[in-house]
Structure 1
């Protein structure tokens, strides 16, 4: 086998085994923490804290107020604070807040704790996506996002099983089972965050599990992925004669290579790049598409125990029946992510997956029996969960320049997570047991997502054609004028006429 192919496989294997498992565990913990309130609700939280009317929906909604507020600022801090420290820090903070949820006694207490939970959790997903985009090439990204995202669907299954087991601890230390759900899951989250600090690398240049030669090669192949960043040559060319050099010489070469490929000096924060991120049409098309998707995904994870209870199950039986729908969703999430990277498609797979969810919601609305309604929740998850990583991978693929990418990914999720407000009010008690209105709301927003992604695919295809025809050559002149005038020192990035958008 050619030496550079061996080197590439070795690097990817080491990245995958050192980065993906801790991120998957942290994201699993994130979704368990986000959905455990649904499990706690049917186990007595609503009764013991004396929630009435739509108070439960309100405490779900306030979480998203603070969650949305911190997404973009957190992404801007990621580089300065170092991602392998900042992400685990946020995880440990939300684990502490989750544990403290066990102390709440009334509506005001639950409301306050959910506000603080939003502050600690808001930076996690945008930070993870941005972090992965600094380690993997553009068309290696979605499979990795899909792997840790699949843990979100598994969290529904695992969370239901875990909640069923923990709820049986009622009476231990004089506490109700639902309080133990928050205590044990919160402590586990703190431990997971603490361990990940010692595993996650700061960057390719500082990945402790790579040899010095592998670091040079990894930096080379990453920055050569897109020649518009100012590099030339063969992206997969092995470092010549590196085996003959001393360790000190290899380290100096790594430093010099990193600087030359990145176009030293290192990119600094500037508001021009933030504005450029705000003005990118893809940010808004994919942001509102993901908004529609999250109305479905969040309402599904938050209210599936409630929906299943409406099918005639209760207590531990209801908890256990929330598990099976997530299994095929997790499998399809990874499969679609693999095919998406292989074919270098993002939007087209969203257009394929979402109709499955659309059929599920229609079936839930018109079904006459509980068996058919239960089948419908399988289709909902199978359509929505695989589409998520596809949308999340579009902007990291189509934005170049760190702060432009930080802005677009952070803003996309700030827009999208506003869907949490609608999701928390989609399924209200007065709709029981069929929840037709809630299903209709989710159906409408999933359909909207399909339309917006279709528009984004059309835009990217059109723009790529314009670049192929040579109609964006003046972008180089415009960028040079910006640099010469002192308005911006950022790299040309995705404005380069040779840059091609991933559809």
Structure 2
């Protein structure tokens, strides 16, 4: 290694360290608040919410369901708006708003009020996760992404533990100010979220170019490394020019264009509805969305109903709250470990295929929960459930940022994936119903097990099954294998015609968007 390469490596380590220290903690804080504010209703339920709001039958489940109606509706629009509002500012506005809504939940007195407050909470929270994933993809290179997603995502599993501990502590305020303990849970956790949004706003830069914690030299290096790709020719301008050379299938004229993997500087791309449509019809977005939907059913139902399930195992009050903490600890550790190894190997889907069986071990997890004869075994099963599902989230969330290029296509696919996936929330909140208490929620566990198997199958489809590009494009696209075979075809030069096709779109005025993931030099991450 030359002295120059050593110097670049040292600079890269320094820049990455500064980015991590200034960006990941605020994002982890926001995501921690997100999961606490979303799942605290589960903690509140077992300490008086249902009685004080006079809920009967499945009204609690209905109140949880309406949250996902508004949550899903705002995900795609939020990502499209974020570019114009500045990413960091927009994320903090969302968090500030839902913190206020969470605080107001302490004033709810009946079913109608609870439904309205959950509906408002969904509108505020819906844009956060797709926004965070898109934001990180404008800061880090593709195969640095999952570790960073894993680190802040681990705070979700940590929130399950922290939420239980926090709720236990807050319950000591029961009766203070004539407010029940569950009302104080919402009041204090909501105020903490508002404060967290203000703290994050002080640290998060909207773009690399606005990262004031970097020196001018570090900022230029960070921009340069972001717009460069391992093994790809370096080009400097955001403009892409394409020519059809004599005797060639098509070639990129390096009129100072950006690299194939990152063909445009995100914040310079102009809105084009065609790119949104290209994102909405992307086959991989739909396959990974269904896979994530299967995972979401397990993830959400676990975080929302673990306190209830633990309580029904014979524990109550503060003891039940404390018993919700331990299952999240191994899940948090494994989430970070898998994210690190995944980035090192540049794998996404294979780790989903490896980790999900731990929860489908739910044949040692859910199936033990279904067949177990003792409460100790049923409680032990919750550890395997958490350990199997939490590490898979960052894997799925990192696939589309790695495999899509261009701001508006990428923002659309990320938001679409999460909008479809979060439809699993409707299932998650309705599978553990009060009538299942005597059977230890066997029906609910069996339904979740089915969705986990669906998730595993769709993850395998994404890696191996024959589809590529738009789900409405030509039959030629439908004959391609998505990741494995498509990468092999590009390595053999069989996709050079993509350049000529893109050139025609530009010449005919149908697009000004970058060539992006259509470029034959672009490689899909498994």
Shorter-chain TM-score bucket reads: over 0.9
- Please list, as runs of the form range in 1=range in 2, the aligned pairs for 1:114-153 lying within 5 A after superposition: 114-153=118-157
Report the 3-state secondary structure (helix = DSSP H, G, I; strand = E; otherwise coil) of the residue aligned with 2:209.
Answer: coil
Q: What are structure 1's unaligned runs of at least 5 residues? A: 234-255
Contact kept, 8 Å, 2:150 with 2:339, in 1: the verdict is yes
- Please list, as runs of the form range in 1=range in 2, the aligned pairs for 1:16-415 lying within 5 A after superposition: 16-225=20-229, 231=235, 262=264, 266-359=268-361, 360-415=365-420
Contact kept, 8 Å, 2:298 with 2:452, in 1: the verdict is yes
For 2:68 and 2:216, the matched residues in 1 are separated by 43
For 1:500 and 1:301, the matched residues in 2 are separated by 36
For 2:346 and 2:455, the matched residues in 1 are separated by 20
Q: 1:131 to 1:227 in 2, by over 3 A?
A: farther
Report the TM-score when normalising by structure 1.
0.93
Match of 1:447 in 2: 453
Q: Structure 1: which 4+ aligned runs deviate by more than 3 Å?
A: 226-230, 256-265
Q: 1:493 to 1:261 in 2, by over 3 A?
A: closer
Q: 1:31 to 1:229 in 2, by over 3 A?
A: farther
Structure with more of its chain in helix, by fraction: 1
Q: 1:79 to 1:28 in 2, by over 3 A?
A: same
Report Cα offsets for 1:76-133 as digits up to 9, x if no partner: 0111100110000000000000000000000000010000000000000000000000
Contact kept, 8 Å, 2:130 with 2:414, in 1: the verdict is yes
Q: Determine whether 1:475 maps to 2:493.
A: no
Post-superposition shift, 1:274? 0.8
Q: Determine whether 1:437 maps to 2:439.
A: no
Match of 1:15 in 2: 19
For 2:346 and 2:294, the matched residues in 1 are separated by 24
Q: 1:419 to 1:261 in 2, by over 3 A?
A: closer
Contact kept, 8 Å, 2:71 with 2:122, in 1: the verdict is yes
For 2:264 and 2:399, the matched residues in 1 are separated by 22
Post-superposition shift, 1:265? 10
Report the TM-score when normalising by structure 2.
0.89
Q: 1:500 to 1:261 in 2, by over 3 A?
A: closer
Q: What are structure 2's unaligned runs of at least 5 residues? A: 238-255, 465-481
Contact kept, 8 Å, 1:229 with 1:491, in 2: the verdict is no
For 2:125 and 2:370, the matched residues in 1 are separated by 33
Report the 3-state secondary structure (helix = DSSP H, G, I; strand = E; otherwise coil) of the residue aligned with 1:427.
Answer: coil
For 1:400 and 1:285, the matched residues in 2 are separated by 18
